[in-house]
Structures are given as C-alpha cells and as structure tokens.
Amino acid sequence: MELRHLKYFLKLAEELSFVRAADKLFISQPPLSRQIKELETELGATLFERNNKRVVLTEAGKYYQKEIQELVQNLERINLTTKKISENQSGEFRIAYVSSTFSGDISKLLQFLSEHYPYVNFRLYEVPTVKQIAALEEGKIDLGIIRAPLHSPKIDSQLWFRDRFSLVFNRNHFSLSSEEDLEKLKEATFVFFNKDYAPYFYDALLQICANYGFSPKVVHESNNISTIIQLVKNGLGISIVPTDIQKSHDYPELEFVEIKKIPLSTDILLATPKGNPSGISKAAIDFLMNQNLKNEA
C-alpha cells in the first residue's frame, strides 16, 4: 500500500464518480480503477459498490474514509512541521537591542515571530552597540538593533528610523517652558549615559549643551535608559534622551521638550551578519519596517 492509494481512495470517496475523481487527480480513469482495486485486494474489503449508474461507499468504505482522512491530515501536519524544523535547524534566533531602543514594536516583533516560527527559540538580549557590532561580526547574534555610526564590512544594515533628541525633566522639580529656555540649564545637574558605554550619546550631550554656552554637570551615570528615566522621574537630575523614548516612558511627572534648533539626530539601524540573510531575519526586518510606517501614519 502506498500513499497514492490512500489519496486516490479519498478523492473517489469525495466525488463518488470515477470520471470526476480521475479528472481532479489529473489521471485517466483506468489507472484510478486499478489503484482502487489494488487497495481493496490488499485490505480484503470492498470499499465501493459500483455499477454503470453510480458509485457509493460501503459501510467498510465509510469507516475507512473517516480513519484515512484523519491519518492523511496528521501526515500533512507532520510533513509541514518537519519542513519548518529543517528550515530552522539551529532552533534558536538571537535578537539584541540597545536599551534606548526598546519599545512596544520589539515586543510585537517577538509575538509575530513566535506565531510564525513556533519551533524556534527566540532570545532577546540588551547589549550596547559596541558589543553588538562585535557579536554580529562573530555571528553570535542574528539580528541587532543598534544606533549609528556603524563601520564594519562584516555587517549588513538598513535604517529603521531617525530619532531626534529631547530634554526630559520632572515638572515638579524643574520648570522649562520651551527649547529657548535651555540656557537655564547651566546650573542644572544631569543624569546621563556613561561615556564609555555610549560615546556617541555623550558627545551629543556635550554638543547640545555647548550650543547653549555651557558644559553639563553630569552627577549620575547609568548604562540603562530605564534607570536614567527613573532617576529623572525621582527628581535627581535632568537628561537629554532620544525623542522616541517618550513612547515607552510616558510618565505624568515627566516633561519632554524636543530640541529642534540643533540639527542633531541619531539613526537606529537593523543589522545582520553580512551575507547571511536568513528567512527569519528578513521577516523580522520587514515586520519592523512596516511597524515604523504604521507609527508614522
């Protein structure tokens, strides 16, 4: 007995016509009749009653149809699962992000990937850009969400979105009505990223403050944007952060004032090891790009 015998039987049981069944199976009627006869001989049971006018299932045929339908459906599911496992043999996909880029979009990405690739174990890591670049070059992560600049011949990347900078402060401890009042910050204390952890951010802070004629007094440093926001929320200082941070840290105590006078921005990139565009990577990047378009709409 071969799988084709079962498929031929199911089609004939569905159509109850050798002519129609043969047509849908793209074969002629004699081979179909022969295959059904071979199946009945092997089973030692008559599955169909046929004459010149009609074809009907016997009681044995009805039972066999019910059982074989379930069997074939299970076999198709097994084949599909096997294919999916084969396509993702590592069973693991590693995504890294910098803390200042974490948002609802990344959470939605994990949900999307888990639904479409249920046999892959997705791992999410918070890793600074410098370390992500090294991990991408070594193939230790599959997708990186990093901040520019990126200079590596071993990494492919594309722009996800461009982010400007905003001043953030606790409105109960500090007052600032507009960007023009930034000169008031000369005596303010700042909470910011560690220079070694995020050199680009630190340089951006210095550049913005220098444009307003002062050097920032950085009294608290952290490597995590959530910690920085919490310190600001507790009134322990003010900070300058990427504007997009407001989406995930929109607390009633906090005020965000976007800095528009200075044409300074930060690019968020989606990066993968060069020459290794897996199907999952492509799906993840397409999803995030589409989410960005929805956010802009």
Provide the β-strand partners of residue 98.
none
pLDDT given for residue 282 in this prediction: 92
Q: What angle do CA 129, 130, 132 make, to 5 degrees?
A: 60
Q: 203 and 125, same structural domain?
A: no
Residues spanned by the domain of 277 = 92-160+267-296
Residue 50 and residue 102 share a domain? no
Most confident of 174-188, 242-256, 283-297: 242-256
Task: Indicate whether 227 and 209 sit together in one domain.
Answer: yes
Residue 239 shares a structural domain with residue 175: yes
Are 172 and 243 in the same domain? yes
Give me the amino acid identity at 241: V
Indicate whether 146 and 192 sit together in one domain: no
Q: Which residues of 122-137 are buried (b: 16+ CB within 10 A; e: fewer)?
A: beeeebbbebbbebbe
Q: Are 101 and 145 in contact (CB under 8 A)?
A: yes
Q: Mark whether 14 and 155 lie in a shared domain.
A: no
Average of per-residue pLDDT values in the chain: 87
Please tell me the distance from the alpha carbon of residue 102 to that of residue 96, in angstroms, as a whole number.
10
Q: Quick one: 128 and 250 in the same domain?
A: no
Contact 73, 66 (CB under 8 A): no
64: domain CATH number is: 1.10.10.10
Neighbours of 273 (CB within 10 A): 22
Range with the poorest average pLDDT among 46-50, 131-135, 177-181, 259-263: 177-181
Does 178 share its domain with 261? yes
Q: What is the pLDDT of residues 84-125, one digit of tens each?
A: 666 655 578 999 998 888 778 899 999 999 998 888 889 999
Q: What pLDDT, on the 0 to 100 scale, is given for residue 209?
A: 87
Q: How many domains does the chain have?
A: 3
Phi first, then psi: what are they for 237, rounded to 5°? 155, 180
> Are the C-beta atoms of residues 165 and 240 closer than 8 Å to each other?
yes
Same domain assignment for residues 283 and 202:
no
E-strand stretches of the chain: 48-50, 55-57, 92-97, 121-126, 143-147, 155-170, 189-193, 217-222, 239-242, 254-258, 265-273
Q: Which of 43, 65, 87 is the last residue of a domain?
A: 87
Q: Domain of 200: which CATH number?
A: 3.40.190.10
- Least confident span in 27-36, 80-89, 132-141, 257-266: 80-89
pLDDT at 175: 77
Residue where one domain finishes, among candidates 22, 55, 87: 87
Give the position of tokens 């220079």: 195
Q: For 183-211, how does the pLDDT look when each residue is reduced to its tens digit (9 = 90+)?
A: 778 888 999 888 887 787 888 888 888 88
Residue whose C-alpha is closest to residue 146's, from 192, 90, 106: 106
C-alpha distances in angstroms, 193 versus 62, 90, 174, 245? 72, 35, 21, 14
DSSP secondary structure of 232-247: HHTTS-BEEEEGGGGG
Cβ contact 166:259 at 8 Å: yes
Q: 13 and 70 share a domain?
A: yes
Q: Do the Cβ atoms of 176 and 182 come closer than 8 Å?
A: yes
- For the segment 153-174, the average pLDDT, to the nearest whole number, is 91
Q: Are residues 271 and 152 in the same domain?
A: yes
